[in-house]
Amino acid sequence: MDIDVVLQSFGLISRWQVMLACLVGVIWGMFVGVTPGLTGIMAVVIALPFTFFFEPQTAIALLLGIYVTAIYGGSVTAIMIATPGTPNAAATLLDGYPMACQGKARQALEMALYASVTAGVVSTVVAMTIFPIVATFALRFGAPEIFALIVFSITIIAGVSGDSLIKGFIAAALGFLLATVGQDPIHGSSRFTFGLHELQGGMHILTVLVGLFTIPEIIVRGVEAYRAKVKVTVGEMGPSLTWRQYFRYFPTYMRSSAAGSLIGALPGLGGSPAAFLGYFIAQRFSKHPERFGKGELEGVAGAESGNNAVCGPALVPMMSLGIPGDTTTAVLMGALIVHGLSPGPMLFTNNPQFVYSVFLLLFVCLVMLLVIGYGVVRMARWVVEVPTQILFPVVLIFATFGTYAVRGSMIDVISMFGVGILGFAMRTQGIPAAPFAIAFILGPLFENEFRKSLIISQGSLEIFVSSAISVTFLLLAVASAVATVYLHWRLKGTEGEKMMQA
């Protein structure tokens, strides 16, 4: 990192227009993030045409503000009303929503905010200092390497999820099966589309998440509210997060940020796997893994560090190779191209100031997120005072509008209710929803990279052990699987009995 260049790039962004654009982006991103169904990508797309008329720095400031904030914004609804505002927030929901139900919403929201900002800063620093290394590093991840990484992630996630291992496996198989609906990733032939064109595009992740988490919650709360026959509210936001609580989880932020940064630097994985990986890594290292899923602060910390750590590193392959890490960075890239700053190998050579100014803008956005986010935490108290019998019908309408809005397709709404009924059935028998969601997210990546590797190697399995990176991850996967077995063996007799039971 050349200090002179960084100082020059300060000059590029220290203008009021750029700061204003940042602020507008952060506010708009927050608004969209907390509205279920409006994803970060839509927010960026709506703002995109305006940026055609801006200076490049101003344009990118606006879009970055949205990009960073929408990831956090989604967790507000996940915590307050069990509806992930964006797909990235699903892992936050696992512990955040139970915390809100226990009257600790404020702690959950603040932890989500502080963990997001911490992870954002850490990952951006990483991305900025080792920019050229990350760029070549990303290029070394081909299909077999990504496959190995996914296998490793699965071994991290499996085994610690849920009370019963066998129920978790059934849920994962169901989730993976649901992900195979649509076009086959390799040949393009249709699978389980039942002759409907609308299903060719497959199930949207937000449809599945809302169906899986929100609809069962509405059904169960409905039963409760009907029987209670009075106004039932969560009632209070609970105490604020203390500094001690924040600093206690510092290692968690670091570990989950590291996982999130790795996922972010690799094109094509995106924020949701990062969030889940961050969450389960936090559980792996936690002193109380059995408390996860029941309202554990550390779970929120892990999930939010994981998904926000994606931001900075995701910009690296986009700017250095012209390969966007996820759909939102693809739009950012489109904006750069329109401004004549074609991302690719030439961008850093020709215009290093611009590259660094983008990272500096990320810091600015994170600071603004901290301020605006704090305001949103305070506003969230409106939600806890709404009685159940009003809140959950309203959530139902939001979920339906939101699901439709994602792709403008009724088939998504139908699927959402279908998955919702399935999710409710699963919930009544304690079949966990998290493995279902994770399998839905990781399943297609697993299949795609596996089959692509075999096409490249023309059927030979040797390709999976032909590079140092994939061997490393496969060995780590074996180690992690062994550790899982050990964990269960150690817990046997105490919590283990409960975890192993069918």
Site for another protein in 26-45 (CB under 8 A): 35, 37-38, 41-42, 44-45
Q: Give 284 or 339: the residue with its C-beta nearer to another protein.
A: 339
Q: Give 324 or 373: the residue with its C-beta nearer to another protein.
A: 324
- Shortest CB 465 distance to another protein, Å: 16
Contact (CB, 8 A) for 354 and 9: yes
Beta carbons within 10 angstroms of residue 339's beta carbon: 18
Q: Give 180 or 285: the residue with its C-beta nearer to another protein.
A: 180
- Determine, following the binding rule CB under 8 A, whether residue 185 of this chain makes contact with another protein: yes
What is the rounded CA–CA span in Å between residue 161 and residue 145? 25
What is 429-459 written as a DSSP string?
TT--HHHHHHHHHHHHHHHHHHHHHHHHTTT
Which of residues 137, 169, 246, 363 is near another protein by CB under 8 A?
169
Closest CA to 468 of 148, 168, 240: 148
Closest CA to 150 of 275, 263, 304, 310: 263
Q: Which parts of 376-395 interact with another protein (CB under 8 A)?
A: 385-390, 392-394
- Determine, following the binding rule CB under 8 A, whether residue 174 of this chain makes contact with another protein: yes
- Determine, following the binding rule CB under 8 A, whether residue 405 of this chain makes contact with another protein: yes
- Give the list of residues 6+ apart from residue 473 with CB closer than 8 angstroms, or none: 145, 148, 149, 151, 152
Q: Give 227 or 287: the residue with its C-beta nearer to another protein.
A: 227
Position 60, amino acid: I
- Shortest CB 493 distance to another protein, Å: 18
R_g of the chain, CA atoms, integer Å: 22
Q: Which parts of 302-361 interact with another protein (CB under 8 A)?
A: 321-324, 327, 330-335, 337-340, 342-346, 349
- Determine, following the binding rule CB under 8 A, whether residue 469 of this chain makes contact with another protein: no
- Determine, following the binding rule CB under 8 A, whether residue 462 of this chain makes contact with another protein: no
What is the rounded CA–CA span in Å between residue 283 and residue 291? 9
215: helix, strand or coil: helix
Contact (CB, 8 A) for 313 and 126: yes
CA atoms within 13 A on the CB side of 249: 33
340 sits in the region (left: phi over 0; alpha: psi -120 to 50; else beta) called left
For helices 410-428 and 388-407, angle between their N-to-C axes, nearest 10 degrees: 130
- Shortest CB 2 distance to another protein, Å: 20
Segment near another protein (CB under 8 A); pick from 1-9, 80-88, 136-144, 474-482: 136-144
- Shortest CB 281 distance to another protein, Å: 25
- DSSP annotation of 93 reads H
For residues 353, 356, 362, 363, the Cα torsion angle rounded to the nearest 10 degrees is -110
Q: Which parts of 210-249 interact with another protein (CB under 8 A)?
A: 215, 218-236
Phi then psi dihedrals of residue 191, to 5 deg: -125, 130
What is the rounded CA–CA span in Å between residue 400 and residue 414? 9
Sign (positive or negative) of CA dihedral 212, 218, 219, 220:
positive
- Shortest CB 107 distance to another protein, Å: 15
Segment near another protein (CB under 8 A); pick from 76-84, 198-206, 272-280, 481-489: 198-206
- Determine, following the binding rule CB under 8 A, whether residue 291 of this chain makes contact with another protein: no
Q: Which parts of 103-122 interact with another protein (CB under 8 A)?
A: 103
Q: Give 268 or 496: the residue with its C-beta nearer to another protein.
A: 268
Q: Give 16 or 53: the residue with its C-beta nearer to another protein.
A: 53
| Burial state string for 265-299 with b = 16 or more CB within 10 A and e = fewer than 16 | bbbebbbbbbbbbbbbbbbbebeebbbbbebbbbb
Closest CA to 80 of 300, 384, 299: 384
Q: Which parts of 248-287 interact with another protein (CB under 8 A)?
A: 267-268
- Shortest CB 319 distance to another protein, Å: 12
- DSSP annotation of 53 reads T
Segment near another protein (CB under 8 A); pick from 46-54, 150-158, 249-257, 372-380: 46-54
- Contacts with another protein by CB under 8 A: the residue count is 132
Q: Give 15 or 381: the residue with its C-beta nearer to another protein.
A: 381
- Determine, following the binding rule CB under 8 A, whether residue 496 of this chain makes contact with another protein: no
- Determine, following the binding rule CB under 8 A, whether residue 428 of this chain makes contact with another protein: yes
- Determine, following the binding rule CB under 8 A, whether residue 188 of this chain makes contact with another protein: yes
Which of residues 1, 20, 139, 485 is near another protein by CB under 8 A?
139
- Shortest CB 498 distance to another protein, Å: 11
Segment near another protein (CB under 8 A); pick from 17-25, 126-134, 182-190, 473-481: 182-190
- Shortest CB 448 distance to another protein, Å: 8
What is the rounded CA–CA span in Å between residue 267 and residue 138? 7
What is the rounded CA–CA span in Å between residue 109 and residue 43? 22
What is the rounded CA–CA span in Å between residue 154 and residue 147? 11
Q: Give 305 or 470: the residue with its C-beta nearer to another protein.
A: 470
- Determine, following the binding rule CB under 8 A, whether residue 456 of this chain makes contact with another protein: yes
184: helix, strand or coil: coil
- Determine, following the binding rule CB under 8 A, whether residue 182 of this chain makes contact with another protein: yes
Task: Write each residue from 54 to 93 as x if it is in contact with another protein (CB under 8 A), else as -, in one continuous string.
Answer: ----------------------------------------
Q: Give 53 or 243: the residue with its C-beta nearer to another protein.
A: 53
Which of residues 1, 133, 371, 410 is near another protein by CB under 8 A?
410
